[in-house]
Chains A and B, each alone.
Chain A
């Protein structure tokens, strides 16, 4: 894992000290809320429905056990004993007191973490593939590239006040596990003539106008990457719609001027930027990459696995993925127990996951955009022991990528922007489809729920998506089908009129029944939908 050098640490420490002073001035009355609000937001502190909320950045979703223990400690000491893992691979604490924040940020800084750039119109936390460095299907580990971008984008003076927030994702596998093309810039590391470079997509996003990012440049060599991205951001910074918040994202700019025109302007800008010499020497990239070297895996680890225990076998079949090294596997811990709240983990659960990472996964954890937690490097021989401990902690639900492995944003239970609650709907769906055989029969089915049009719950990218709306003061839910955030990326289509909370669960059941009746061999829900279209589903739902 990357370790802060003296510059990283000094910058973070200086920011903590600065914010501590700002908090003091706010509490003593030297600052009004209007003056203080932009400052607290720069440090990830929001005011939400019930209290202050602190959003902690987890760079490209990678954590050490020490860092996870610290998150547990903060939840226990300053919050109400739990945290919420988000689709941006971050963690949110929901009940933070203002005068505790300097101490919390000091605690975070002690384990090389912070909440900087988790809000505001800047480049946010870089997201990545949760299986990075372990996935059997990756061409290289994308995290050194992501770390390079983290360093470039942290406190970047020119990009601190962009027209709107900016989200970048880096992957390096064929399978897209990070919704890469739904980011402002999506990067896929590819290989050309034996050399790795970046395929750069730009102008994707969700929110009220979902867009899939078009390819802007097929191959940017590593030695040009920062200059090229600098040029991408400069063109956006210059022409992005600052006059209208709803049109300010880069997706609108690229949609309006067209990918070709945007590309041409970026090329022109690139010619200028390249001369500035901001691209680091190869040795610097190699220095960063060395931090992400494969841990010292057991070279003699066996591929044998005793699957005679039925529940263990189910869990292995569903939640364990192929590792690039023999005798090892990637474990995904589901944070979607049937009665639970998607993405929430208690302090005790965080501590347990951290302990498991230290003992069995070379001290590494990952957060997924689907709000689960990954142990990336587990020996197959240790899987049973890991599973038993997860079972005891209520963390062994074998439902990865099934209908109950839902993404749900906090919705109206926590979020001040929400129109409707997300979590109770998620719980009702989970309850209806709780039977594991039934879930497994339905197969891969990505269900995603947002409590308002901001789409934090990725509903546009759900095989089944649900959007909460306010219908004359009542919660109402719009249903959509056919979205995907994976390599078969697509934006979902609305089925028709919305439903109340129970109605939407019934409608989903009628749709999945229809799928079961119509599906052909090996087809997932989304495949059948794509083949037969909306009409038969509409008929099934609305009669």
Chain B
């Protein structure tokens, strides 16, 4: 699958394209197929996103999983500060993104 990601213009937080909007939760991300670049351009123009780019990934039981470790860490948060990630109560989340 292909995912569209970027950083929120104001907060800078990592966000994912959900089909109609942006979410900080990768679980909400949809497969953008071949439309990623077009959506990215429109959303950047509409000032909803900073530095959008398309990445490869796969759909797993837990939801979309980016192909590259960098984007898996982006999706979760720093692996060394579980308390600051999106899954503060799941100590094994960091292990799963590696």
A pairs with B: yes
19 residue pairs A–B, Cβ–Cβ below 8 Å: A27-B10, A29-B47, A47-B7, A47-B50, A48-B12, A49-B14, A50-B14, A95-B84, A96-B12, A97-B12, A341-B80, A412-B70, A412-B73, A413-B78, A413-B81, A421-B79, A423-B78, A473-B68, A474-B69
A391 to B47, CA, bound (A): 48
Indicate if B9 sits at the interface (CB-CB under 8 A): yes
Residues in chain A near residue B79, CB distance under 8 A: 413, 421, 424
Closest 6 CB pairs of A and B: A51-B12, A52-B12, A413-B78, A423-B80, A29-B47, A98-B10
Pair A99/B10 contact, Cβ less than 8 Å: yes
B74 within 8 A of A: yes
* Interface residue ranges of B5-64 to A (CB < 8 Å): 7, 9-14, 44, 47, 50-51
| Cα–Cα distance between A41 and B79 once the two chains are bound (Å) | 26
Interface of B is mostly: loop
- Closest residue on chain A to residue B83 by CB atoms: A80
A50-B14, A427-B80 in contact; A412/B7 too (CB < 8 A)? no
- A475 — which chain B residues lie within 8 A by C-beta? 69, 98
Known: A412-B69, A414-B78, A421-B79. Is A97-B10 also a contact (CB below 8 A)?
yes
Given contacts A98-B12, A423-B80, contact A51 B44 (CB under 8 A): no
* Shortest Cβ distance from B46 into A: residue: A29
Shortest Cβ gap from B45 to chain A (Å): 9
Segment 291-306 of A: residues with Cβ below 8 Å from B: none
CB distance from A51 to the nearest CB of B (A): 4
State in angstroms the CA–CA spacing of A427 and B81 once bound together.
12
Q: With A47-B12, A51-B13 given, is the CB distance from A418 to B7 under 8 Å?
A: no
**Given A414-B78, A427-B80: A33 and B10 interface contact (C-beta under 8 Å):** no
Q: Would you call A80 and B84 a contact (CB within 8 A)? A: yes
CB distance from A196 to the nearest CB of B (A): 45
B31 vs chain A, min Cβ distance (A): 21
Judging by beta carbons under 8 Å apart, are B47 and A49 in contact? no
On whether the beta carbons of B12 and A413 are closer than 8 Å, the reply is: no
Complex: chain B residue closest to A419, CB-CB: B70
Q: A99-B10, A475-B69 are in contact. List 19 more A-B contacts (CB 8 A).
A: A27-B10, A29-B47, A33-B50, A33-B51, A47-B7, A47-B50, A49-B14, A49-B70, A50-B13, A50-B77, A51-B11, A51-B13, A95-B12, A97-B12, A98-B10, A341-B81, A413-B81, A421-B80, A473-B68
CB contacts (< 8 Å) of A421 on chain B: these are 73, 79-80
- The answer for the CA separation of A50 and B11 in the assembled complex, in Å, is 10
By a CB distance below 8 angstroms, the chain A residues around B13 are 50-51
What residues on A are CB-neighbors of B69 within 8 Å?
412, 473-475
Within 8 A of B (CB), among A49-82: 49-52, 80
Q: Which residues of A contact B51 (CB under 8 A)?
A: 33, 47
B50 partner residues in chain A, CB cutoff 8 A: 33, 47
Docked complex Cα distance between A424 and B73 (Å): 13
The chain B residue with its CB closest to the CB of A411 is B80
Interface residues of A in 2-37 (CB under 8 A from B): 26-27, 29, 33
- Chain A, 449-486, CB within 8 A of any chain B CB: 473-475
Nearest A residue to B73 via CB reads: A412
Report the separation of the CA atoms of residues A354 and B73 in the bound assembly, to the nearest whole angstrom.
34
Q: How far is the CB of B91 from chain A (nearest CB, A)?
A: 14
B73: chain A residues within 8 A (beta carbon): 49, 412-413, 421
Q: B74: which of A50, A427, A473 is its contact (CB, 8 Å)?
A: A50
Distance of A411 from chain B, by nearest CB (Å): 9
> Cβ of B74: which chain A residues have Cβ within 8 Å of it?
49-50
Question: Once bound together, how far apart are the Cα atoms of A414 and B14, in whole Å?
Answer: 12
CA distance A473 to B73 in the complex (A): 13
The CA of A316 and the CA of B44, in the complex, are separated in Å by 56
Cα–Cα, bound, A27→B47 (Å) = 8
User: What are the residues of chain B within 8 A of A341 when measuring CB–CB?
Assistant: 80-81
B34 to chain A minimum Cβ distance, whole angstroms, is 24
Which residues of chain A from 81 to 107 have a CB within 8 Å of any chain B CB? 95-99
B42 CB to nearest A CB, Å: 14
Docked CA distance A80–B84 (Å): 8
Contacts of B47 in A (CB 8 A): 27, 29
For residues 408 through 448 of chain A, which have their beta carbon under 8 Å from a beta carbon of chain B? Answer: 412-414, 416, 418, 421, 423-424, 427
